[in-house]
Chains A and B, each alone.
Chain A
Amino acid sequence: MSNIKEGQRELVKRLLEGEGYASPAQRLAAFNNSGLDDAVGQLVTKIVNRSFAITDDDVIAAKKAGLDEDRIFEMAVCAAVGQATRQQESALAALDAAMEDQHASPDSR
């Protein structure tokens, strides 16, 4: 059985608490898709909800709003990891609920 939990913890800790060009507060806001205004917030929300629709103009607008490329890189990574984390946590909670009344044999767990 694969176990990515420890690796995920290290990834998130590095993204949110390690050194970076964007401040920890900016990276956390991107991770949570919360509290970001203007073009930067729009880019983060698009990464979370409709990444396939991102265009050159979205990235250019984030630059015009004051972000350099390293900050855009960091915040995009945080936004993507944050949304994927929420998706996984939601699914695991549903799995826990399903298992509560599941009388599975030990080797099926």
Chain B
Amino acid sequence: MRLQILDNGHGFGTKALFGIIQVMSRQPVLDVVKLVRYRPDFYGKPMSNVTHEAMRGPSSWSVGDRELMAAFVAATNQCEFCTKAHTAVAQHAYGESLSVPSSFSDAELANLPQPLRATLLMLRKVTQQQALNADDMREVLAAGASRQQIEDALAVCFSFNVITRLADCFGFAVPGPKAFAAGAKYLISRGYT
């Protein structure tokens, strides 16, 4: 990572925890874990509370849907770490019920059910342009999304418009598939807190 404090500026207890994680998972500690564990009162704890509520709080979107939105926002922001991480979590959550798109191309998105597809396209616009109008939202409502579903999707979008920026700013290392699979297993069982 680009800041040494995020790599090795943690206290003794946190470093010991990282050691345990490495032994148990047989994978390196992901940089996102190092980030949220560095001075957690400043960023890690309050942000994890927000992200956990958005990703695991009550919603008519499934966990898989929300993880797919996270991966999609990450892909829109061209964040390789978060795209791969949350594609893995989404696929883990969906199981065989839905195949997560590999590239999020328009052709792949066309295969997704409504109102998920229209919601993803709206999130792309929020992420790229920050200039939506009422017509953009009417399209999502017309596709069958409720107001609450849109607000829930925007909560996911908020979290990952923060996290992806930090991943790229701090230069998160992108590990191999086994590390992401281990991370996905953890996020499905424990969530973000």
Contact = CB atoms under 8 A, between A and B. Distances in A.
B114 interface: no
A4 B159 CA distance: 10
B42 A14 contact: yes
Interface stretch (B25-33, B84-92, B160-168, B174-182): B160-168
A88 B150 CA distance: 11
Given A1-B58, A2-B152, A83-B165, A95 B46 contact: no
Contacts of B146: 104, 108-109
Interface in A1-54: 1-4, 7-8, 10-11, 14-15, 18, 20, 43, 46-48, 51-52, 54
Interface residues on B, range: 35 or more
Secondary structure class of chain A's binding surface, majority of residues? helix
Interface residues of A, number: 50
Given A4-B53, A87-B130, A95 B150 contact: yes
Interface string B1-44: 01111100100000000000000000000000000001101110
B7 to A, nearest CB: 10
A3 B53 contact: yes
Contacts of A14: 41-42, 46
Contact of A4 (B6, B132, B158): B158
B52 to A, nearest CB: 9
Contacts of B155: 2, 4, 88
Nearest to B155: A4
